[in-house]
A and B are shown apart, each in its own frame.
Chain A
Amino acid sequence: MALMEKPLQNEQGQGADCPKETVIRARDLDLVFQTNDGPVHALKDVTLDIDRGDFVSFIGPSGCGKTTFLRVIAALEEPTGGEIMVNDLTPDEARRLRAYGYVFQAAGLYPWRTIAGNVKLPLEIIGFTREEQEERVKKVLELVDLEGFERKYPWQLSGGMQQRASIARALAFDAEILLMDEPFGALDEIVRDHLNEQLLKLWERTNKTICFVTHSIPEAVYLSTHIVVMSPRPGRIHEVIQNPLPRERPLEIRDTPEFLEVAHRVREGLKAGHGYDG
C-alpha cells in the first residue's frame, strides 16, 4: 500500500499557502462481518489520510466497502482491526462532539415535520437556543436554495428538493466533516448535474471536508480533489487519484480533454482493481 503515501506528499507540495492538517487518519483498517454465509471481508488494510478542506470521492463496484468506510468514519460501524482517528479522537468521540453531517442516499426526512422542522431536528437535539435554531435554519435553507419552502412537508417536494433539504439538515449544525453516501444516486441526471454544481459552490463557500461515495465516474471527477478507487472482495483501496483540475469548475469542464483524461484514469483504475478479483 505504498500508494497511500502519495496524496499526503502531494498535499504538502501543493498547499503552500496554508499548512495542511489531517482530519481523518486511517491505518490498516480491517472490518470483517460475520454473516450466515461465513465471514465477509468488507474492508482490508485500508490506509488513508484526508486533509481539512479536501473533497474526497470513493468510487468502486458494489461490495468494495466504500459505504462501510464512510460508516466507520461516522462510528456507525466498529472496525475489527487497524486504527482510525478523526481530529486525533476516536470516531465515537468525534461523533459525540457532533463532528459529522451525514447525508444518505434517501433523503430520510421525517414526514411529520416541515422542511424547516427537519432542518431544525439536529439543532433541537444538540440544544441550540430557539433564536439560533431559526437563524441557522434560515441560513442553510438559503444555502441550498430552498427559501420559501420552510413550511412545506417533505412529501410535497420533488426528490431533488428533498435531497437538498437533507443536505441543509447535515449543514445546519456546522459539523466540520460532511459524509455523503451516494446522495444523488436516486435522482435523474439533469437534477443531478444541477445539484453537483450547487454542492461544489457550497463546498467552496463553507470549506468543509467532504467524503463522497458515488458510482458515477463523471460525478467523482467533477466534484473531488481526490478520487479513491476501491475494489471488492475484500474491500480495499486500489488507487488514490489526485485530481489536477482547478477548483473553479463550470459544468462545461466535463467536455475538456483534461477532464476526460482524469475520467479515463479512474476507469482504468476500476478495471485493474476488478482484474485481480479473479
Chain B
Amino acid sequence: MNWLFGSIAFWVAAWALNVWLANSPWRERRAVRIAIPVIFGISILVLWEGVVRGLQVSPVVLPPPSAIWARILQSFDILWRDFVQTAIKGAVSGYVIGCTAAFLTAILVDRKPFLRRGLLPIGNFVAALPIVGLAPIMVNWFGFGWESKAAVVVAMVFFPVLVNTVQGLSEASEMQRDLMRTYAAGYWQELVKLRLPAAMPFIFNGLKVGTTLALIGAIVAEYFGSPIYGMGFRISTEVGRLAIDMVWAEIAMAALAGSLFYGLVTLIEKWVTFWHPSQRG
C-alpha cells in the first residue's frame, strides 16, 4: 500500500510543481517548456509503477515500467533485430519509395489542371480509407520478407503526400506568378524558384502524416506473415504466449522509433521552411 499512496503523492507533488512552473515568470523559457512535459511523463511512470505494485496487478495484465525496462535491457539484441527489420527495412524504405513516387506524380499531375481537378478529390478520399487492409494482399504478392511491408507502406503514404504536394504546388499567389511572367521565366524556373519552395510547408505536412502511417503499415503487414523476427511478428507471438512485458518492450521500441522518425522529419521541416510564419515563433 505504501507504493500506491507514495506514488499518488509523488504524482500530486509533480503536478503541483508543474502548476507552479507553468505560472512562474520563467514559463516562456525553453528549459521550462521542456521540463514540464518531462516531469509529467515521469510522474505518470511513477504512478504506473506504484499502482501496479500497490494493487499487485498481475504482470499478465500490466507489468510495471521497471519490469519493462529490465526486459528491454535483457532482450536488446532481439529488439534491435526486430527494429531493423520492421522500422528500417520495411517502414523507411517503403516511406522513401512512396514519398518519392507521390512527389513525382504530383509534379506530373500539376502540369494538367484537368488532371489536378480530377485527382484531388479522389486522392483526398483515398487518403481517408483504411488502406492498411491491403496488407494481406501485399504479403500475398510480395512474400513474407520486408518487401511486402514496404509495399503496404508505399500504398499508405502515397496518397497523403500526393494530395498535400498537389495542393502545395498551387499555393504560390497569383501575384507571384505574374511576377515570374514579367521575368519571362520558364516552367522549370517557376517551379524550382517559386512553386516548390512555396509548397514546402504543405509537402512536409504530408511527410509528417506519412511517418506514422509508415510504421503502422509495416507492423500490420507482419501480422499477415513475416520471417521469425520483426516488431509485428514479435508482438503477435508474445501476446499469444502472454509475455506481456516483451510486448510492452516492443511497444516502447515502436514508440521510440515513431517519435524519432517524426522528430527527424520535423527537424528537416524546421530547416527547410524556417521562413514560414509557423516556424518563426
Q: Which residue of B lies closest to A94 (CB)?
A: B184
A104 touches B197 (CB 8 A): no
Within 8 A of A (CB), among B229-281: 273-277, 280
Partner of B182, one of A102, A112, A124, A155: A102
> Which A residues are CB-close (under 8 A) to B182?
74, 76, 95, 100-102, 179
A110 touches B197 (CB 8 A): yes
Interface residues of B (CB under 8 A from A): 173, 175-176, 178-185, 189, 193-194, 197, 200, 273-277, 280
B178 touches A102 (CB 8 A): yes
B193 touches A121 (CB 8 A): yes
A106 touches B175 (CB 8 A): yes
> Does A126 belong to the interface (CB within 8 Å)?
yes
Q: Which residue of B lies closest to A112 (CB)?
A: B275
Partner of B179, one of A71, A102, A126: A102
Known: A102-B178, A110-B197. A122 touches B275 (CB 8 A): no
Q: How far does the alpha carbon of A76 sit from the alpha carbon of B175 in the complex, in Å?
A: 10
Q: How far does the alpha carbon of A98 sit from the alpha carbon of B181 in the complex, in Å?
A: 10
> Which B residues are CB-close (under 8 A) to A98?
183-184
16 contacts between A and B (CB under 8 A): A74-B181, A98-B183, A98-B184, A100-B182, A102-B178, A102-B182, A104-B179, A108-B175, A108-B176, A110-B197, A111-B276, A112-B275, A125-B180, A126-B183, A153-B275, A179-B182
B181 touches A95 (CB 8 A): yes
Q: How far does the alpha carbon of A125 sit from the alpha carbon of B192 in the complex, in Å?
A: 11
Q: How far does the alpha carbon of A108 sit from the alpha carbon of B178 in the complex, in Å?
A: 11
B275 touches A155 (CB 8 A): yes
Known: A125-B193, A155-B280. A76 touches B183 (CB 8 A): no
Within 8 A of B (CB), among A69-104: 71, 74-76, 95-98, 100-102, 104
B183 touches A125 (CB 8 A): yes
Partner of A122, one of B173, B183, B277: B183
Max count, chain B CB within 10 A of own CB: residue among A97, A104, A106, A125: A125
Q: How far does the alpha carbon of A93 sit from the alpha carbon of B106 in the complex, in Å?
A: 32
Q: How far does the alpha carbon of A100 sit from the alpha carbon of B183 in the complex, in Å?
A: 8
B185 touches A125 (CB 8 A): yes
A202 to chain B, nearest CB (A): 19
Q: How far does the alpha carbon of A173 sit from the alpha carbon of B193 in the complex, in Å?
A: 17
> Which A residues are CB-close (under 8 A) to B184?
95-98, 125
Q: How far does the alpha carbon of A6 sit from the alpha carbon of B189 in the complex, in Å?
A: 43
Q: How far does the alpha carbon of A17 sit from the alpha carbon of B197 in the complex, in Å?
A: 50
Max count, chain A CB within 10 A of own CB: residue among B178, B183, B273: B183
B281 to chain A, nearest CB (A): 12
Q: How far does the alpha carbon of A74 sit from the alpha carbon of B274 in the complex, in Å?
A: 33
Chain A to chain B: the 5 pairs with minimum beta-carbon distance, closest first: A111-B275, A112-B275, A102-B182, A122-B183, A125-B185
Q: Which residue of A lies closest to B182 (CB)?
A: A102
> Which A residues are CB-close (under 8 A) to B181?
74-76, 95
Q: Which residue of B lies closest to A105 (CB)?
A: B175
Q: How far does the alpha carbon of A74 sit from the alpha carbon of B178 in the complex, in Å?
A: 9
Within 8 A of B (CB), among A104-133: 104, 106, 108, 110-112, 121-122, 124-126
Q: How far does the alpha carbon of A74 sit from the alpha carbon of B175 in the complex, in Å?
A: 13
> Which B residues are CB-close (under 8 A) to A110?
176, 194, 197
